[in-house]
């Protein structure tokens, strides 16, 4: 697995401190990040591929510093945004997935084959030539994920990848994640999605307040968010 390392990371936007004292080494295959709204999860996730560079401290991916090697890191770390519209860049579905493959040096034929395969996998084959903006919210979310997965990055960071999905497509994404050989970092409010992950972090007020196996980490999150500590 890739080693994702946060060392003494802190960050603020204006005078608002968003992350502080983050020291983490992530080498597990599947890492979940949960926590209450505004806690800093997306900011932390975006730091993994240099979309946000920390104000203090460093983030490295296999020893490459995101501050200096962002472009190189983004070739091996794929990022899937919460809002698929942020990510969809081409007019039609097939063109959008193909766009991800443009810089890979694959032949046109091989690219076409991969695009077909991934659209089929995500139930979008019938929409290949449709304008992206006419897709439903959930279809857009699947398209955004497909466009990242088609490039086979060695790490996939996904920020709330199931938020817009129906039960069936959520299961499809969960099953896809379970079968991926790559390293996966998933930010989510869908706690079941990370229940079988290798490690779960709970982020609150800019800090990692629990870092454990899923069951104890999710229990800690529930106590924190719902204030239902039976011991009190």
Ligand X SMILES: Nc1ncnc2c1ncn2[C@@H]1O[C@H](COP(=O)(O)OP(=O)(O)OP(=O)(O)O)[C@@H](O)[C@H]1O
**From candidates 2, 42, 66, 182, binder to ligand X by CB under 6 A:** 42
Cα–Cα dist 150/100, whole Å:
7
Cα–Cα dist 87/114, whole Å:
19
Cα–Cα dist 182/64, whole Å:
18
Minimum gap (Å) between residue 178 Cβ and ligand X: 23
Minimum gap (Å) between residue 108 Cβ and ligand X: 38
**From candidates 5, 30, 31, 35, binder to ligand X by CB under 6 A:** 35
Could you give the C-alpha distances from 139 to 78, 85, 131, 167, in angstroms and in order?
19, 11, 12, 13
Asked if residue 41 binds ligand X (CB under 6 A), the reply is yes
Q: Which structure tokens are listed for 167? A: 């039960």
Minimum gap (Å) between residue 185 Cβ and ligand X: 13
Cα–Cα dist 168/138, whole Å:
11
> Which listed range, 35-43, 116-124, 132-140, 172-180, lies at the site for ligand X (CB under 6 A)?
35-43
Residue with the shortest CB distance to Mg ion: 42
Cα–Cα dist 192/213, whole Å:
13
**Cα torsion 77, 81, 84, 88: sign:** negative
Which residues in the 23-42 window bind Mg ion by CB under 5 A? 42
**Residue 13 binding partner per list Mg ion, ligand X, none, with a CB distance cut-off of 5 to 8 Å that depends on partner kind:** ligand X
On whether the CB atoms of residues 86 and 96 are closer than 8 A, the answer is no
**Residue 232 binding partner per list Mg ion, ligand X, none, with a CB distance cut-off of 5 to 8 Å that depends on partner kind:** none
Residue closer to ligand X by CB (options 6, 122) is 6
Asked if residue 18 binds ligand X (CB under 6 A), the reply is yes
Residue closer to Mg ion by CB (options 119, 157) is 157
Binding footprint of ligand X on the chain (CB under 6 A): 13, 16, 18, 35, 37-43
């Amino acid at each position: 697995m890739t080693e994702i390392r946060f060392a003494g990371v802190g960050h603020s936007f204006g005078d608002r401190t968003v992350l502080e004292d983050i020291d983490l080494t992530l080498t597990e295959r599947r890492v979940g990040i949960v926590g209450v709204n505004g806690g800093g999860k997306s900011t932390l996730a975006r730091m993994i591929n240099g979309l946000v560079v920390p104000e203090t401290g460093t983030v490295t991916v296999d020893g490459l510093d995101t501050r200096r090697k962002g472009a190189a890191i983004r070739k091996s770390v794929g990022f899937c945004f919460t809002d698929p519209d942020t990510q969809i860049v081409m007019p039609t579905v097939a063109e959008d997935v193909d766009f991800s493959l443009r810089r890979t040096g694959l032949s046109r034929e091989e690219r076409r084959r991969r695009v077909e395969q991934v659209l089929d996998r995500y139930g979008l084959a019938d929409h290949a030539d449709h304008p992206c903006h006419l897709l439903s919210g959930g279809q857009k979310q699947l398209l955004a994920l497909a466009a990242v997965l088609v490039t086979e990055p060695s790490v996939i960071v996904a920020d709330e990848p199931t938020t817009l999905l129906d039960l069936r497509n959520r299961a499809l994404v969960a099953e896809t994640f379970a079968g991926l050989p790559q390293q996966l970092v998933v930010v989510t409010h869908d706690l079941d999605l990370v229940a079988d992950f290798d490690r779960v972090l709970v982020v609150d007020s800019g800090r990692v307040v629990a870092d454990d196996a899923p069951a104890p980490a999710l229990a800690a999150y529930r106590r924190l968010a719902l204030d239902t500590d039976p011991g009190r």
